[in-house]
């Protein structure tokens, strides 16, 4: 049934292009025919798809493009598990006013081109997870889009292909976005003002995304309630972030699976964890290093175990060794100088000895004179 309609429609399309050159009567008849065909196809279901009420599903059909002639009254369109390598402005040629849900997951998709979603003005939920996106146009979404849920979990080819979507997020035209799933991508560092314009974001998933620090600005998102940072590369949470957490008591975060470094610098985080209810998986956080605290739950680590001494001892040790070496070197140089000047020194020693002897003799002489009473009188008299 569906196949017949498709054939009918493609015939009419062919007729339309040829019809322009025919006379007006035939052209008019053809137009009518085409209109009829379109009306009929609107209620029909695209090839390889299953339709029920306002839902169209074309799953695991090896499609390499979005099927044409999606019924205009569709609300939900799911084309998952196919082989669609790119979507562009021709992917949705007709205006699908009612479409709110679009699932394009598992398609090995590489390119999301300009204006692709412009014919889907009421799109609310878009799933692009499990693709291989390398380029994502900044102009994919219309300015007045209604997008609320965007799933980009494991969507990107690599770290550098994330740039396009980051520009979209930064641009600030996803004003209604409430749920953003960026999990399982290699993000590492996110731009500081990335989330500044996502003022309605409630739920943000950054799980397994190689993140090394909590991005600036996330914690000040006014509506944010659920932040998933599990399985990243966080080693600590700076105290400035802890203060921001305290100011947002509605915000709950998940932090398990990060390689926490349990040294003296994690002190503030521990104090905060023990007094906070915001980290829902806090019982399962464990130290990754130092070695002696590995796998120890953070909540069970005592303040006295948090040492940065390991490093200090090392520093002291090396400085002692260095000092010793310097002293030895000075000693060697001193000895060398002595050795090279041995003749001069000998002469100098003799000179000193002679000088001393002369001096001592003179002293001795004077002493003898002074101690002779006869001479003493003499000297007194001579003084007078």
Ligand X SMILES: *[C@@H]1O[C@H](CO)[C@@H](O)[C@H](O)[C@H]1NC(C)=O
| Contacts to ligand X by CB under 6 A | 62, 64, 83, 85, 105, 129-130, 151, 153-154, 157-160, 179, 181, 184-186, 208, 256, 275, 280-281, 284
Nearest distance, CB of residue 276 and ligand X, angstroms? 6
Alpha-helical segments (H) within the chain: 2-19, 24-43, 163-171, 239-247, 267-275, 309-340, 342-371, 373-383
The nearer residue to ligand X, 45 or 152, going by C-beta atoms, is 152
CB-wise, 37 or 181, nearer to ligand X?
Answer: 181
Beta carbon of residue 185, minimum distance to ligand X (angstroms, whole number) = 5
- Nearer to ligand X (CB atom), residue 56 or residue 285: 285
3-class SS of residue 326: helix
Query: How would you class 41 by CB atoms within 10 Å of its CB: exposed for 0-12, middle for 13-18, buried for 19 or more?
Result: buried
Q: Give dist(CA 271, CA 278) in Å, integer.
A: 13
Partnered with residue 220 across adjacent β-strands are none
* DSSP label of 238: -
CB of 99 to ligand X, least distance (A): 18
**For residues 127 and 263, which CB has a smaller minimum distance to ligand X in the complex?**
127
Question: Is residue 109 within 8 Å of residue 131, measured between CB atoms?
Answer: yes
Is residue 165 a contact partner of residue 141, using CB atoms and an 8 Å limit? no
| Rounded least distance, CB 245 to ligand X, Å | 10
Which lies closer to ligand X via its Cβ, residue 118 or residue 176?
A: 176
Minimum CB separation of residue 64 from ligand X in Å reads 6
Q: Classify strands 76-78 and 101-103 as parallel, antiparallel or unpaired.
A: parallel
Q: How far is the CB of 158 from ligand X (least distance, A)?
A: 4
For 67, the token pair is: 């099927």
- Nearer to ligand X among residue 5 and residue 254 (C-beta): 254
Q: Are 33 and 45 in contact (CB under 8 A)?
A: no
């Amino acid at each position: 049934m569906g196949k017949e309609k498709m054939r009918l429609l493609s015939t009419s399309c062919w007729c339309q292009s040829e019809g322009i050159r025919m006379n007006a009567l035939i052209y008019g008849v053809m137009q009518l025919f085409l209109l009829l065909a379109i009306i009929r196809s609107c209620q029909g279901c695209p090839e390889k798809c299953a339709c029920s009420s306002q839902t169209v599903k074309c799953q695991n059909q090896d499609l390499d493009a979005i099927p044409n002639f999606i019924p205009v009254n569709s609300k939900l369109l799911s084309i998952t598990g196919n082989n669609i390598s790119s979507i562009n402005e021709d992917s949705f040629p007709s205006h699908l006013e009612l479409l709110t849900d679009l699932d394009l997951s598992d398609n090995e998709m590489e390119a999301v081109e300009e204006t692709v979603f412009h014919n889907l003005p009421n799109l609310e939920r878009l799933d692009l997870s499990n693709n291989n996106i390398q380029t994502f146009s900044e102009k994919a979404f219309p300015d007045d889009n209604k997008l609320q849920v965007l799933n980009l979990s494991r969507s990107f080819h690599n770290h550098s292909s994330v740039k396009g979507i980051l520009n979209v997020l930064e641009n600030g035209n996803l004003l209604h976005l409430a749920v953003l799933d960026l999990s399982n991508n290699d993000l590492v560092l996110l731009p500081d003002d990335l989330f500044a314009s996502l003022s309605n974001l409630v739920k943000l998933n950054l799980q397994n995304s190689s993140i090394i620090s909590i991005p600036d600005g996330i914690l000040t998102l006014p509506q944010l309630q659920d932040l998933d940072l599990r399985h990243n590369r966080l080693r600590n949470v700076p105290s400035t972030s802890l203060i921001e957490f305290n100011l947002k008591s509605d915000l709950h975060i998940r932090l398990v699976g990060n390689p926490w470094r349990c040294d003296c610098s994690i002190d503030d985080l521990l104090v905060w964890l023990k007094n906070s209810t915001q980290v829902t998986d806090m019982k399962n956080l464990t130290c990754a290093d130092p070695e002696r605290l590995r796998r120890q739950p953070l909540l069970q680590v005592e303040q006295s175990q948090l040492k940065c001494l390991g490093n200090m001892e090392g520093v002291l040790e090396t400085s002692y060794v260095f000092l010793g070496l310097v002293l030895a070197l000075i000693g060697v140089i001193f000895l060398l100088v002595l050795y090279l000047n041995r003749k001069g020194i000998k002469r100098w020693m003799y000179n000193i000895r002679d000088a001393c002897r002369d001096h001592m003799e003179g002293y001795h002489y004077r002493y003898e004179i002074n101690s002779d009473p006869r001479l003493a009188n003499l000297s007194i008299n001579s003084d007078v």
